[in-house]
Amino acid sequence: MKPRLDILPPAQLALWPELRAVPGQFVLYGGTAIALRLAHRQSVDFDFFSSGPFVPHELRASLPFLAGSELLQVAPNTLTVRVTRPEPVKLSFFGALPIGRVGTPERTDDGVLQIASLLDLAGTKAVVVQQRSEAKDYLDLHHLLLNGVPLAAALGAAQALYGEDFQPVLTLKALAHFGDGDLPTLPTDIQSALRRAAGRVTGFADIQRRAASLHAA
């Protein structure tokens, strides 16, 4: 796939070719992954997911572009750092994730990294909007719906990824109320579109998990 690098801020764009060194077990998820596919907004962080475990300090030491990075968080299978290019860029790595995938990630045409499928990104966003009230997540989900992922499919993907931990009704409720956090800043037409999409859902698509491994060979 051809990533929309034009949406990256200068610091992220400068870092981009260095990300080729990230081990192949990691796949890009989160807002930046969606933005690189849809070019609907700028996103400033890189979030890498892996189904395999890793040792945070070993990963940090093995990646040349993390030399001199600021350590923000370290925990089992979790590493968050900040690098400077020359503006700060935050990178997070999460391992041993049991969610699996319902689609197939694609490698960027420049060979730098793999980006999760739109369906997997929609499934994870359907969960995120239950956990926090941030306009960027609702904007991401809105544009996923505009680009061929029905809300019923996003809910079905989330169900396949997270099992009984995912309650679809909570996502539908979240998409009907915009009073918390910075949600009032969402354009009213997007609020209305999300409300309509939630109101039309009568069930969720029957989507099966395709693989336990997040990355593709």
Give the pLDDT confidence score for residue 95 in this predicted structure.
99
Q: Tell me the C-alpha distance between 144 and 125, whole Å.
A: 9
Give the pLDDT confidence score for residue 143 in this predicted structure.
98
Give the pLDDT confidence score for residue 177 in this predicted structure.
94
183 lies in some domain: yes
Do 66 and 133 fall within a single domain?
no
Average the pLDDT over 140-146 and give the result.
Answer: 98
Do 149 and 170 fall within a single domain?
yes
Cβ atoms within 10 Å, residue 75: 9
* Interior angle at CA 9, CA 6 and CA 14, nearest 5: 90
CATH code, domain carrying 86? 3.30.460
216 lies in some domain: no
Give the pLDDT confidence score for residue 203 in this predicted structure.
87
Give the pLDDT confidence score for residue 22 in this predicted structure.
98
Do 27 and 74 fall within a single domain?
yes
**Residue-wise pLDDT tens digits, 21-32:** 999 999 999 999
Do 89 and 189 fall within a single domain?
no
**Residue-wise pLDDT tens digits, 177-212:** 999 999 999 999 999 999 999 999 998 899 999 999
**Residue-wise pLDDT tens digits, 10-19:** 999 999 999 9
Instruction: Check whether the bond before 86 is cis (ω within 30° of 0).
Output: yes
Can you give the length of the chain in residues?
Answer: 217
**Residue-wise pLDDT tens digits, 31-43:** 999 999 999 999 8
Pairing of strands 45-49, 88-94: parallel
**Residue-wise pLDDT tens digits, 80-136:** 999 999 999 999 999 999 999 999 999 999 999 999 999 999 999 999 999 999 999
Do 111 and 9 fall within a single domain?
yes
CB 190 within 8 A of CB 198: no
* 77 phi and psi angles, rounded to 5 deg: 60, 25
pTM: 0.96
100 lies in some domain: yes
Token code pair at residue 202: 């009568």
Give me the half-sphere count of Cα atoms (radius 13 Å) on the Cβ side of residue 46.
Answer: 26
Which spans in the chain are helix H? 10-15, 30-38, 56-62, 118-131, 135-146, 151-162, 168-174, 188-200
CB 142 within 8 A of CB 190: yes
Does residue 54 surpass a pLDDT of 90? yes
Give me the half-sphere count of Cα atoms (radius 13 Å) on the Cβ side of residue 86.
Answer: 0
Q: Which domain holds residue 150?
A: 118-200
Average the pLDDT over 160-170 and give the result.
Answer: 96
Give the pLDDT confidence score for residue 217 in this predicted structure.
80
pLDDT band at 2 (very low <50, low <70, confident <90, very high): very high
